[in-house]
Amino acid sequence: MAAKPDYSRLIATEPSCRNRRVPSRSSFTALVGCELPLQLAVLGGVGTPALAAAVADAGGLGMMPGGSPDDVDRFIAQARGATRGRIGVGFLMPFVSRDAVAVAGREADVVEFFYGDPDADLVSIARKAGAGIVSWQTGSAEEAAAAVRAGCDFVVVQGTEAGGHVRGKQRLDEILRETLRAVDVPVVAASGIGTVERTAELLAAGAGAVRVGTRFLAASECDAHPRYVEP
């Protein structure tokens, strides 16, 4: 069986990106401090510190799944040992550990939450631990506005095209338009994004960045089973 190809530097190495079809600076890059308007999705079960580090090294925001406080501490240490880029930790609300949020707030560049109503108390825990940036992945413009009221610095909007846990009930283009009208923070577009052309469309529509998940399952740094990603 052939080894999985290395797609972790997709955006940074695409000729169309180098030809400026995709802008490299945005409200998102200015806020987060990364070089490219790209966020790795939190890939629960298959996301690894190595994948987060590879994306961060390529100029994006590398994300890792949250877990226990010890898990989060170990994951961040492993990623920090492999990159000087920007990394974050994402938590699923049904399984969130407040102690783990505090560890992430102290050690990661970004702390993110998903799959639950925006909670100002969780944002506050991350802030008090030292988090400079807190975000929330949302499924509607109303939820995005609630996340901003809870104290988030940027929001991710998810459409029905997404893989994994799906909270959105509208197509991405529709929810992106509505959310851009509803909030004044950077908005990251998520759901079914796998090409530079689609990235350029969404950035032109006003997104501060794109969030890519499924496309990275084929990366050599991802822990997905080879049979899952083989052609």
Q: What is the pLDDT of residues 167-225, one digit of tens each?
A: 888 999 999 999 999 999 999 999 989 899 999 999 999 999 999 977 777 777 876 77
3: exposed, middle or buried (Cβ count in 10 Å: 0-12, 13-18, 19+): exposed
- Longest Cα separation, the chain: 50
Q: Compute the average pLDDT of residues 50-60.
A: 94
Q: Compute the average pLDDT of residues 60-75.
A: 96
Strands 187-190 and 86-92: unpaired
Give the residue extent of every domain in the chain.
10-229
- Residue 119: how many other CB atoms lie within 10 Å: 17
Kindly state the DSSP code that residue 216 receives in the 8-state scheme: G
DSSP state string for 75-125: HHHHHHTT-SSEEEEEEEGGG--HHHHHHHHHH-SEEEEESS---HHHHHH
Choose which CATH entry (3.40.50.1000, 3.30.465.10, 3.20.20.70, 3.50.50.60) describes domain 10-229: 3.20.20.70
Give the per-residue pLDDT at 222: 76
To the question of pTM greater than 0.95 for the whole model, the response is no
Nearest to 153 by CA among 204, 182, 195, 111: 111
